[in-house]
């Protein structure tokens, strides 16, 4: 049984379509990255999963239950980190957690939860004085209450520094190992690629790609970008580089000294060798693997291809 | 697209949106809401305010009201003056307390914290009503109980029933206005709109309602609506009696006057305490009515009216809040 089934989901506000015929599934036990630029419809989808808003048409099942008819049952087994939400400024972290524990009928220890998110020293401080990152840690701790079967994390890295974001991913991993399914939205590929089994990319209310991280990487055209700084260049040399078997594309970026960028599938040394054979001095070179960020960019901004950036 | 499952089906969720009520959830929400308010200065400020209000009125009575004291009607007088004041003050406090209860949480997004937990929207509304009512009621209790000793000392006597009647009805009156406030607050995402709604309610019962009665009176004088004539027997100072026949507003118009929660509040106090009905609320003289007084114009019916003011607003809100996008 999938943890989340979204089927032909449409949500419109008057004339404006926020989601259009969106369909996808999240498997039980996986970490699913829900990726898309701001405004793509990620929060709308999450609001629909949690019955905060109602679909115009389509069907949603969470943990095998209808998202509207059984919302309470779903939420009793789900931990949620909502996005862009203020905490209760007059309540302490302990009171926030006691409220969540009380609400879920769980028996967690507030202190232990706060230790997991590295907020234990602020346990009796009122949340009104928290920084954005501290508030985010508190909300993550609230989401963990009651060992939920499903974690829905909406932009969980918001306000966290790189170290905090890493700790957050660590918690996602731990929760997943415990057996929880994690649904994790973000607009930054880097944050999901490290932890997610599969990634769905949302664009303008439609799912444009759903695949494993490796699958997405392959679809990016697994090439490497080679940048070579040379003392001089001529058309014949460029032509020679382009005609190498392993080079799919090469461009002269000009400048002084000139820089050549080439998309290389196989051996990089062939390019360097070709240039040296022509007595062109290589001053510097660097390589960069095609990143998932490139894939994400290509899906969400350009029409096709990775070069659109 | 990834894994499509079957053809797109039209949502069949049209009327399955009604949520359930879980008392444990209501309690959890109310507790959180109460803590949230109690931690601020509001609760103790209100308690101190009610304390000072009662002590102030009692002090004035003790100082100026020696004649009254001689008649031994001091607690009744205290109840009279205190009910006149609380009638005006409690709506203000309740409206201010309830103003942001739901709209504020929707505006800041923190309602998503509440509703990410296994609470239904109905639980949230009822919990808020309970939490805010508890803030007002408990501060009334603290203020009144603390003031009781001062009252007893200053007035030299103390009628517990009258005093308790005032306290009890002030609490119920407060719940009625809290119900109005929380319900209105749930109808909008904007605290500005909610604030305007609170202000409108305030205007309605502080001004417009009296205006309606005034207008009805005018209409009756012009013959647009038929008044009811009644005969009253007046006793002149020399002991002779005189029968005069006059017109009064019809029963339904008198009922309009009864609906005002403030009048209902004071009418119920006359039922419970020894404070006279001719000074408080709407209480109509018996000679208004040739036959029996219609049940809906009797003072006890004001209990029903207050109950309706508690139940109807929250019932409307419970129905509607289930059906909106947050």
Helix axes B121-155, B301-321, angle to 10 degrees: 150
Of B187, B191, B86, the residue nearest B136 (C-alpha): B86
Cβ-Cβ contacts under 8 Å for B104 (sequence gap 6 or more): B185, B191, B194
Q: Are B169 and B265 in contact (CB under 8 A)?
A: yes
Residue A275 belongs to domain with CATH number:
3.30.70.100
Report the pLDDT value the prediction gives residue B102, as an integer from 0 to 100: 95
State the pLDDT confidence band at B270, using cuts at 50, 70 and 90.
Answer: confident
- Domain assignment of residue A169, given as a range: 4-217
Per-residue pLDDT for A133 more than 60?
Answer: yes
* A82-110 per-residue burial string, b: 16 or more CB within 10 A, e: under 16: bbebbbbbbbbbbbbbbbbbbbbeeebeb
Per-residue pLDDT for A186 more than 70?
Answer: yes
Where residue A146 falls (left for φ over 0; alpha for ψ -120 to 50; beta otherwise) is left
Give the C-alpha separation, A66 to A56, whole Å: 15
Give the C-alpha separation, B282 to B305, whole Å: 13
Per-residue pLDDT for B4 more than 60?
Answer: no
Instruction: Please report the DSSP string for A110-151 in residue order.
Output: HHHHHHHTT-GGGTTSBGGG--HHHHHHHHHHHHHTT--SEE
Asked if the C-beta of A63 comes within 8 angstroms of chain B's C-beta atoms, the answer is no
Residue A134 lies inside a defined structural domain of this protein: yes
Residue A307 lies inside a defined structural domain of this protein: no
Instruction: Please report the DSSP string for B164-207 in residue order.
Output: HHHHHHHHHHHHHHHHHHHHHHTT-S-HHHHHHHHHHHHHIIII
Comparing A118 with A296, which gets the higher pLDDT? A118
Give the residue-averaged pLDDT of B239-246. 81
Report the pLDDT value the prediction gives residue A48, as an integer from 0 to 100: 95
Tell me the pLDDT tens digit for each residue of B151-177: 888 877 778 888 999 999 999 999 999
Could A7 and B2 be called an inter-chain contact, meaning their C-beta atoms sit closer than 8 Å?
no
Q: What percentage of chain A reaches a pLDDT higher than 90?
A: 53
Of A193, A208, A81, the residue nearest A144 (C-alpha): A81
Give the C-alpha separation, B282 to B271, whole Å: 12
Report the pLDDT value the prediction gives residue B15, as an integer from 0 to 100: 43
* B308-324 per-residue burial string, b: 16 or more CB within 10 A, e: under 16: ebbeebbeebbeebeeb
Could A80 and B40 be called an inter-chain contact, meaning their C-beta atoms sit closer than 8 Å?
no
Give the C-alpha separation, B153 to B234, whole Å: 41
A vs B: CB pairs below 8 A:
130
Q: What percentage of chain B reaches a pLDDT higher than 70?
A: 90
Give the C-alpha separation, B94 to B232, whole Å: 41
State the pLDDT confidence band at B64, using cuts at 50, 70 and 90.
Answer: confident
Could B13 and A54 be called an inter-chain contact, meaning their C-beta atoms sit closer than 8 Å?
yes
Asked if the C-beta of A239 comes within 8 angstroms of chain B's C-beta atoms, the answer is no
Both A200 and A241 in one domain: the answer is no
Tell me the pLDDT tens digit for each residue of B299-314: 889 999 999 999 999 9
Both A109 and A206 in one domain: the answer is yes
Chain A contacts in chain B segment 49-108 (CB below 8 A): 108
Asked if the C-beta of B18 comes within 8 angstroms of chain A's C-beta atoms, the answer is no
Tell me the pLDDT tens digit for each residue of B102-129: 999 999 889 999 999 999 999 999 999 9
Residue A86 lies inside a defined structural domain of this protein: yes
Per CB-CB distance under 8 Å, the chain A contacts of B4 are: 7, 23
Check: complex ipTM more than 0.85 = no
Distance between the two ends of chain A, CA-based, in angstroms?
Answer: 39
Both A121 and A227 in one domain: the answer is no
Per CB-CB distance under 8 Å, the chain A contacts of B1 are: 23-24, 207, 210
Both A24 and A168 in one domain: the answer is yes
Both A285 and A257 in one domain: the answer is yes
Report the pLDDT value the prediction gives residue B68, as an integer from 0 to 100: 60
Q: What does the mean pLDDT of chain A come to?
A: 87
Asked if the C-beta of B31 comes within 8 angstroms of chain A's C-beta atoms, the answer is yes
Per-residue pLDDT for B12 more than 60?
Answer: no
Residue A269 lies inside a defined structural domain of this protein: yes
State the pLDDT confidence band at A218, using cuts at 50, 70 and 90.
Answer: confident
Both A187 and A49 in one domain: the answer is yes
Q: Are A211 and A251 in contact (CB under 8 A)?
A: no
Domain boundary among A217, A237, A270: A217
State the pLDDT confidence band at A144, using cuts at 50, 70 and 90.
Answer: very high
Domain boundary among A182, A200, A217: A217
Domain ranges of chain B: 23-188+307-321, 213-302
Q: How far is A4 from chain B (nearest CA, A)?
A: 12
Report the pLDDT value the prediction gives residue B69, as an integer from 0 to 100: 57
Both A213 and A227 in one domain: the answer is no
Report the pLDDT value the prediction gives residue B89, as an integer from 0 to 100: 94
Tell me the pLDDT tens digit for each residue of A235-278: 888 888 888 887 877 888 777 788 888 877 777 788 888 888 88
Tell me the pLDDT tens digit for each residue of B83-106: 999 999 999 999 999 999 999 999
Give the C-alpha separation, A147 to A180, whole Å: 8
Whether the link from the prior residue into B103 is cis, omega within 30° of 0, is no
Report the pLDDT value the prediction gives residue A274, as an integer from 0 to 100: 84
Report the pLDDT value the prediction gives residue B284, as an integer from 0 to 100: 80
Task: Give the least confident one: A208-222, B2-16, B62-76.
Answer: B2-16
Both A231 and A89 in one domain: the answer is no
Both A159 and A12 in one domain: the answer is yes
Residue A305 lies inside a defined structural domain of this protein: no
Count up the domains in chain A and report the number. Answer: 2
State the pLDDT confidence band at B213, using cuts at 50, 70 and 90.
Answer: confident
Written in H, E and C, the secondary structure of A147-194 is: CCCEEEEECCCCCCCHHHHHHHHHHHHHHHHHCCEEEEEECCHHHHHC
Could B2 and A200 be called an inter-chain contact, meaning their C-beta atoms sit closer than 8 Å?
yes
Q: How far is residue B231 from each of residues B234, B243, B244, B287, B289, measured CA to CA in Å?
A: 10, 7, 6, 7, 9
Both A145 and A207 in one domain: the answer is yes
Per-residue pLDDT for A104 more than 80?
Answer: yes
Q: How far is residue A248 from each of residues A223, A261, B319, measured CA to CA in Å?
A: 9, 11, 63
Both A256 and A140 in one domain: the answer is no
* B77-107 per-residue burial string, b: 16 or more CB within 10 A, e: under 16: bbbbbbbeebbebbbebbbebbbbbbbbbbb
Asked if the C-beta of A204 comes within 8 angstroms of chain B's C-beta atoms, the answer is no
Residue A133 lies inside a defined structural domain of this protein: yes
CB-nearest partner of B108 from A59, A86, A95: A86
Residue A75 lies inside a defined structural domain of this protein: yes
Residue A304 lies inside a defined structural domain of this protein: no
Chain B contacts in chain A segment 117-176 (CB below 8 A): 126, 139, 142-143
Could B117 and A75 be called an inter-chain contact, meaning their C-beta atoms sit closer than 8 Å?
yes
Of A180, A249, A192, the residue nearest A216 (C-alpha): A192
Give the residue-averaged pLDDT of B282-296. 81
CA atoms within 13 A on the CB side of A2: 18
Distance of CA A227 to the CA centre of its chain: 28
Per-residue pLDDT for B191 more than 80?
Answer: yes
Chain A contact probe: residue of B107, B117, B123 with most A CBs at under 10 A:
B117
Both A136 and A13 in one domain: the answer is yes
Asked if the C-beta of B24 comes within 8 angstroms of chain A's C-beta atoms, the answer is yes
Per-residue pLDDT for A54 more than 60?
Answer: yes
Per CB-CB distance under 8 Å, the chain A contacts of B29 are: 103
Give the residue-averaged pLDDT of B243-253. 86
In 3-state terms chain A splits into helix, strand, coil percentages (rounded to 5) of: 35, 30, 35
Per CB-CB distance under 8 Å, the chain B contacts of A25 are: 2-3, 5
State the pLDDT confidence band at A309, using cuts at 50, 70 and 90.
Answer: very low
Per CB-CB distance under 8 Å, the chain A contacts of B122 are: none
Asked if the C-beta of B17 comes within 8 angstroms of chain A's C-beta atoms, the answer is yes
Domain boundary among A167, A182, A217: A217
State the pLDDT confidence band at B47, using cuts at 50, 70 and 90.
Answer: very high
Residue of B nearest to A76 (CA): B118
Q: How far is A51 from chain B (nearest CA, A)?
A: 9
State the pLDDT confidence band at B36, using cuts at 50, 70 and 90.
Answer: confident
């Amino acid at each position: 049984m999938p943890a989340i089934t979204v089927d032909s989901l449409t949500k419109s506000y008057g004339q404006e379509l926020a989601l259009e015929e969106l369909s996808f599934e999240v498997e039980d036990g996986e970490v699913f990255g829900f990726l898309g630029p701001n405004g793509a419809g990620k929060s709308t989808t999450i609001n629909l999963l949690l019955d905060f808003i109602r679909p115009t048409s389509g069907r949603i099942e969470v943990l095998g239950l209808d998202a509207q008819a059984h919302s309470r049952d779903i939420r009793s087994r789900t931990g949620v980190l909502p996005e862009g939400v203020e905490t209760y400024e007059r309540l302490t972290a302990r009171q926030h957690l006691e409220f969540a524990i009380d609400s879920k009928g769980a028996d967690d220890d507030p202190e232990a939860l706060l230790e997991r998110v590295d907020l234990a020293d602020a346990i009796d401080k009122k949340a009104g004085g928290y920084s954005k990152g501290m508030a985010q840690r508190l909300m993550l701790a609230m989401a963990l209450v009651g060992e939920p079967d499903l974690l829905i994390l909406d932009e969980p890295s918001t306000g966290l520094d790189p170290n905090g974001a890493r700790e957050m991913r660590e918690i996602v991993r731990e929760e997943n190992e415990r057996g929880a399914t994690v649904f994790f939205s973000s607009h930054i590929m880097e944050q999901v690629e490290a932890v997610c089994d599969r990634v769905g990319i949302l664009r303008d209310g439609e799912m444009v790609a759903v695949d494993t991280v490796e699958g997405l990487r392959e679809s990016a055209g697994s090439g490497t970008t080679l940048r070579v700084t040379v003392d001089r260049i001529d058309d014949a040399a460029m032509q020679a580089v382009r005609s190498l078997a392993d080079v799919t594309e090469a461009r002269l970026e000009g400048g002084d000294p000139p820089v050549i960028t080439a998309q290389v599938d196989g051996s990089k040394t062939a390019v360097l060798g070709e240039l040296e054979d022509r007595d062109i001095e290589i001053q510097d070179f660097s390589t960069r693997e095609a990143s998932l960020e490139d894939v994400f960019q290509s899906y969400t901004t350009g029409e096709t291809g990775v070069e659109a950036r | 697209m990834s894994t499509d499952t079957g053809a797109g089906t039209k949502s069949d969720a049209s009327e399955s949106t009604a949520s359930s009520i879980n008392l444990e959830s209501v309690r959890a929400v109310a507790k959180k809401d109460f803590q949230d308010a109690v931690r601020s200065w509001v609760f103790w400020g209100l308690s101190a305010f009610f304390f000072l209000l009662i002590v102030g009125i009692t002090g004035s009575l003790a100082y100026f009201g020696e004649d009254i004291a001689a008649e031994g009607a001091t607690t009744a007088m205290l109840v009279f003056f205190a009910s006149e004041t609380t009638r005006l003050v409690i709506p203000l406090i309740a409206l201010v307390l309830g103003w942001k209860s739901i709209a504020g949480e929707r505006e800041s997004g923190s309602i998503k914290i509440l509703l990410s937990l296994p609470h239904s929207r109905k639980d949230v509304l009822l919990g808020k009503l309970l939490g805010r009512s508890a803030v007002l009621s408990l501060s009334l209790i603290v203020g009144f109980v603390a003031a009781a000793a001062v009252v007893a000392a200053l007035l030299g006597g103390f009628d517990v029933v009258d005093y308790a009647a005032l306290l009890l009805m002030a609490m119920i009156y407060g719940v009625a206005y809290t119900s109005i406030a929380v319900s209105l607050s749930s109808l909008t995402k904007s605290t500005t709109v909610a604030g305007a709604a609170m202000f409108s309610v305030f205007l309605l019962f502080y001004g417009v309602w009296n205006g309606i009665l005034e207008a009805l009176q005018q209409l009756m004088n012009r013959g647009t609506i038929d008044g009811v004539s009644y005969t009253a027997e007046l006793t002149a100072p020399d002991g002779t009696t005189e029968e005069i026949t006059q017109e009064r507003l019809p029963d339904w118009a008198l009922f309009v006057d009864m609906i005002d929660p403030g009048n209902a509040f004071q009418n119920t106090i006359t039922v419970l305490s020894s404070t006279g009905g001719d000074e408080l609320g709407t209480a109509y003289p018996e000679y208004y009515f040739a036959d029996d007084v219609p049940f809906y114009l009797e003072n006890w019916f004001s209990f029903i009216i207050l109950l309706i003011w508690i139940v109807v607003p929250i019932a409307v809100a419970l129905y509607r809040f289930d059906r909106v996008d947050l």
